[in-house]
Structure 1
Amino acid sequence: MGGSIKTKNIPELEDPSMISEQHFSTSFTSVWHKVTPLADTYWRRENLKIKRELSPIENRAPIRLRGFLNELAFETFKKAKATNQVPRKETIITIAQDSITSIAEYIFRITKKEDSITSHLDENCQNEVFELTKNLLQFFPQSHSIKFRPKFSGCGIVSACEGDLIYQGTLYEIKAGDRGFRVSDIKQLLTYSSLEFLNNTHGFSKVGLFNPRTGYHWERTIDQLCIELSGMRESDTLQNITSHMTQLAISR
């Protein structure tokens, strides 16, 4: 699986002419070069400033199950937050086991691979889910400040989609792979921010990345990020992105 703890692949879009936000973020190089010409240079410099906030976890579970365990940990984190649970292993694993069936069905619809899921968490899998969940609970401690899976209306070629979570006015993407953050992760956050710009539904002013597997964290205001990537302020940059979304739909 890629870095995201919440699987973003969309098996079936309502309109086959539209694409997912991840596809838009990782493709259309010419569009992104026009909109954010300074992105690669900025991210090479910014990557050196990323801080480790929490201790990394040990990767002992099979890598083929990583997407499943990432998604299970995120769902466990969400349910633990809803009931104000503290990060005790017995409690966390009980919540996780109650979610195995639904998460396995979801992951299998995407991967179509039997070996990408499991109905039983062995000790290594339990430890990985617990450590991921614990890091999420520690990094996002305030339950009243969190909104899970915010939804965004589509625009042009980009289908309606959802982010990971909003915490204290910051839209966060949770990337749980072994890799570092990438410039495509920033473009994904800009894609959500552009869709938000059209409707102003959620009211966040910052964007961030957090990896509960490695403990790394990054965040910036949207305005600061837009200036660094494009030389333009937030409103001009986000409007430019949505205009390209619309133009791409028309040109199809």
Structure 2
Amino acid sequence: MISERDLAEKFTDVWKQHFPLLTSSYMKLFNEAKPKIINQEIITNHSEDIRYDLVSQLAFNIVEKVSLKKSDYDDVWKEKNLKPIIEQTAFEIWRKSLSYKEINFLQVEEKDCQNICNNIFEFLNKKTVVSSSFKPRFSGYGIISDLIGDLQIDGILYEIKTVQRNFRSSDIKQLIIYLALSHVRGDVIWEYAGLYNPRKGTYCVFNVEKLIYDISAGKSISESFKSLLDSFTREVNIDSRF
């Protein structure tokens, strides 16, 4: 099986075939027109030794735990409560078991993590009208295993990218993979999807049908999604023969 990140960042020919207009020029216009500011940007000192992957995933896991009422926000930062969350987060990222002592979570990382948590909570409070849920699951298809997304708010599927950059085509591609899996399995037909960056404090929401029409040069959602997923399987099968 293959991860959504590999699918989004590789398979260049497949993406060009199905979404030929998802180019750097398109993303330039996208980033000029779509994102809106919803949080204060988090400014970090690049000279500080922050492990951004650990901090970002930890913040997401903490917000999920607090939102599900599994922990109080003030209590979660007590060392005895924080230790297992950090250890589990480190395993999710690096796929090896490390003790809290081995991870050596720095004070500057904790402060950065708290800032990200605060922005995500603010985003949830501002955008949630009816309900929100974390880590929606998507059934696999062909070579693609079952996948887990980031966040659903009031029928909008969000991909969270906690990074110091603008949104990239790979971010949209990752969303498309989730949307395609959901569509071909007949689970949820998402009308809207979005991207959120708690580090830059920006987000955007777009109509899925319009996005696919624009970047596929006029194809329908059903045609685009199924043919994309089938192409991934064919591409891997062809490569495996050689």
User: Do they fold alike, i.e. is TM over 0.5?
Assistant: yes
Give the one of 48, 70, 82 matched to 2:68: 82
Q: Alpha-carbon deviation of 1:84?
A: 9.0
Give the letter aligned to residue 20 of structure 1.
Answer: S
Q: Structure 2 matches for 1:55-134, cutoff 5 A? A: 55-60=40-45, 62-83=48-69, 90-91=74-75, 93-94=77-78, 96=82, 99-109=85-95, 117-118=103-104, 120-122=105-107, 124-134=108-118
Give the one of 116, 126, 134 matched to 1:148: 134
Over the aligned positions, Cα root-mean-square deviation in angstroms equals 2.8
Q: Alpha-carbon deviation of 1:100?
A: 2.1
Asked whether 1:229 is paired with 2:215, we answer yes
After superposition, the Cα gap between the structure-2 partners of 1:221 and 1:63, relative to the gap in structure 1 and judged at 3 Å, is: farther
After superposition, the Cα gap between the structure-2 partners of 1:111 and 1:36, relative to the gap in structure 1 and judged at 3 Å, is: farther
Identity percentage over the alignment?
Answer: 29
Question: Aligned partners of 2:101, 2:41: CA distance in 1, in Å?
Answer: 26
Deviations 1:60-107 (A, max 9, x none): 484452111111100110011112989x7x455346455223223333
SS at match of 2:95: helix
After superposition, the Cα gap between the structure-2 partners of 1:190 and 1:145, relative to the gap in structure 1 and judged at 3 Å, is: same
SS at match of 1:155: coil
Q: Alpha-carbon deviation of 1:248?
A: 2.3
Question: Aligned partners of 2:102, 2:222: CA distance in 1, in Å?
Answer: 42
**Does the 8 Å CA contact 2:130/2:154 hold for their aligned counterparts?**
no
Question: Aligned partners of 2:97, 2:201: CA distance in 1, in Å?
Answer: 27
Aligned to 1:42: 26
Question: Aligned partners of 2:152, 2:58: CA distance in 1, in Å?
Answer: 19
**Does the 8 Å CA contact 1:156/1:247 hold for their aligned counterparts?**
no
After superposition, the Cα gap between the structure-2 partners of 1:221 and 1:110, relative to the gap in structure 1 and judged at 3 Å, is: farther
Asked whether 1:51 is paired with 2:39, we answer no
Aligned to 1:208: 194
- TM-score, reference length from structure 2: 0.83
Q: Structure 2 matches for 1:16-27, cutoff 5 A? A: 18-27=1-10
Aligned to 1:3: none
**Does the 8 Å CA contact 1:173/1:210 hold for their aligned counterparts?**
yes
| Aligned pairs, number | 230
Unaligned runs of 5+ in 1: 1-17
Deviations 1:156-201 (A, max 9, x none): 2322211111111111111001121101111111111111112132
